[in-house]
Amino acid sequence: SYRSRRACQPCSGTSAPHPCTRTHWRPEPHWYERWVQPCVAELLGTALFVCIGCLSSVEDAAGTGRLQPALAHGLALGLTIAVLGDISGGHLNPAVSLGMWLVGGLNITMLIPYWVSQLCGATIGAGLAKAVAASERYGNASGGAFTIITADDQVPSVLAGEIILTSFLVLVVCMGAANGKTKTPLAPFCIGFSVTVNILAGGAVSGACMNPARAFGPALVANYWDYHWVYWVGPMVAALLVSTLVRTLLGDRSIRLLLK
């Protein structure tokens, strides 16, 4: 359907030095590309990311250290965003979707569909990891679910770690992909590198989940729910904090609410 109009740039073949002022019709995006395709991309991207992440964690249970899961998560995320980002934005994370909505980078009508797609994709990815991983290693790692909390007195430090690490990730996403002044085509790899850095730095503190979907899928498939709420509260609080910072101080005029 041809329902939107715009003034075009200088028409090819003309010698006019100024932009063409004629009004032209252009097609609106198909409803599938506007509403369904982004959700499909989020589901597929999250499934691939969580599958790779869970497999790296299962292998890490054999004693390979934090470098392997850090590189696997970061590279998988960066590559997935690079190939799917133009379709959905490549959020692959409910906390990132919340932060992007709060800074104006996502329509509110897509927030819940994105969350549902990400959680379903994470469940599929965790199921694929279980299907291909060695059963003994899979069991030792609880399917890639986060098992770092073993006592109540660890909860404050783990929660603080998740807030700090996710704040760094969401800040990189908002400033690298949504803010006009700092937007960069290297955003997918900046985001992936931020995940790698966070896992290397904070993996021993909180597990460096930074993603409720990454926590939910493995927990559901492995049926491991101990202190699962921490990996929802921490990232979501971080998204609220970073979006407030961007909206009030760091964003450009189109995003900033104060001191325009």
pLDDT of residue 219: 97
What secondary structure letter does DSSP report for 258? S
- Helix, strand or coil for residue 69? helix
pLDDT of residue 241: 98
pLDDT of residue 29: 80
- b (16+ CB within 10 A) / e for 47-69: bbbbbbbbbbbbbbbeeeebebb
- b (16+ CB within 10 A) / e for 173-210: bbbbbbbeeeeeeebbbbbbbbbbbbbbbbbebbbbbb
- How many residues are given for the chain? 260
Q: How far apart are CA 88 and CA 213, in angstroms?
A: 16
Q: Distance of alpha carbon 231 from its chain centroid, rounded?
A: 14
pLDDT of residue 258: 85
> Is 51 within 8 Å of 73 (Cβ atoms)?
no
Residue 169: CA atoms inside 13 Å, Cβ hemisphere, count?
Answer: 37
The closest alpha carbon to 221, from 148, 125, 92, belongs to 125
pLDDT of residue 92: 97
The closest alpha carbon to 93, from 208, 187, 211, 192, belongs to 211
Q: At what angle do helices 37-60 and 111-132 cross, to 10 degrees?
A: 40
Per-residue pLDDT of the chain (260 residues; tens, 9 = 90+): 334 444 444 444 444 455 555 555 567 788 898 889 999 999 999 999 999 999 999 987 656 678 999 999 999 999 999 999 999 999 999 999 999 999 999 999 999 999 999 999 999 999 999 999 988 889 988 999 999 998 999 999 999 999 999 999 999 999 999 999 999 999 999 999 999 999 999 999 999 999 999 999 999 999 999 999 999 999 999 999 999 999 999 999 999 998 87
Which residue segments constitute the domains of the chain, with CATH numbers given? 31-250 (1.20.1080.10)
pLDDT of residue 69: 93
